[in-house]
Amino acid sequence: MARSYVHEARRRELGRRRDRIEPIVERLASMHADATIALRFESDVDLLVSVMLSAQTTDVNVNRVTERLFRKYRRPEDYLAVPVAELERDIYATGFYRQKAKAIRRTMQMLLEEFDGRVPRTLGELVQLPGVARKTANVVAAELGHAQGIVVDTHVRRLSQRLGLTRNDDPVKIERDLQRVVPRADWARFPHLLIWHGRRVCDARRPVCEECVLADLCPSARFG
C-alpha cells in the first residue's frame, strides 16, 4: 500500500483537494504546454491499435513498431486479411505478441460486425472490444474528444498520491477520487500533465522537488 499524503496535506494546511486542483492544473499546463499523448497515429483505428500494443511496453517501442505497421494495415479488414502468424511477426517487438495479435484480430472483427468498421466513442462500447480494458477505453475516448473518465497509469497513480489527491492504490478507486475534484473539462488533459510532470520532474525515486512548480501545494514535497 502506497503512503497516503492526504493527512499530511491537512497537517501542512495546504487546503482542500478541490481548492488545490485548479492551481495544480494551471501550473502544470503552463510548465508542460507540450503535454500530449506520446503514441503516434493518424486514424481512429491506428489509435486503438497503438493503445492495445502499449500494454507492458513503452510508447517509444510501440511507435517504432507502428511506423511500419500502419503503412501495411490501414483498415480493420487489413488485420484480418493476413494469417495470424504474419500479424504476430509484425508486432513481435511489442511483447506478448500472441495475445495482442489475437485481441487485435477479434477487435477488428467486432468493429466490422457491430460498429460498421468504426471505433466506438463511449466507454460502454469500447470495453466490449476484446483486449480493451477501462484504461485503454479511457485513452481512446479522450483522444477522440469524448473523455468519460480519467486515465490512471503508473505516473498518474504516483503523482495523485504524492499530491494528496487520493489515499487509494487501486486505479479504479483513484480514478473515482480524481473525478470528484478534477473539472470535467480537464479530464482529457489532466493525465497527460501528470505523466509529463512525472517524467520530467516528479521521478519515482528522486523527485526534483526544488524545481517543482507544485512544491507549495504538495504534501510530499521536500522543498519549500
What's the pLDDT score for residue 223? 60
Does some domain include residue 1? no
Catalytic center residues: 135, 153
Q: Are residues 59 and 122 in the same domain?
A: yes
The distance from CA 210 to its chain's CA centroid, rounded to whole angstroms, is: 27
Q: Are residues 71 and 137 in the same domain?
A: yes
Does some domain include residue 223? no
Does some domain include residue 71? yes
We report the CATH number of the domain holding residue 24 as 1.10.1670.10
pLDDT below 70 — which residues of the chain? Answer: 1-3, 223-224
Q: Within 13 Å of residue 115, how many CA atoms lie on the same side as its CB?
A: 18
The last residue of a domain, from among 80, 110, 143: 143
> What is the spatial distance between Cα 70 and Cα 222, in angstroms, rounded to a whole number?
45
C-alpha cell read off for 19: 481548492
What's the pLDDT score for residue 222? 80
Domain extent for 194: 6-36+149-217
What's the pLDDT score for residue 2? 54
Q: Are residues 118 and 136 in the same domain?
A: yes
Span 209-223, pLDDT tens digits? 999 999 999 999 986
Asked whether 200 and 28 are in contact (CB, 8 A), the reply is no
What's the pLDDT score for residue 154? 93
Does some domain include residue 222? no
The last residue of a domain, from among 143, 178, 198: 143
Amino acid identity, position 168: N
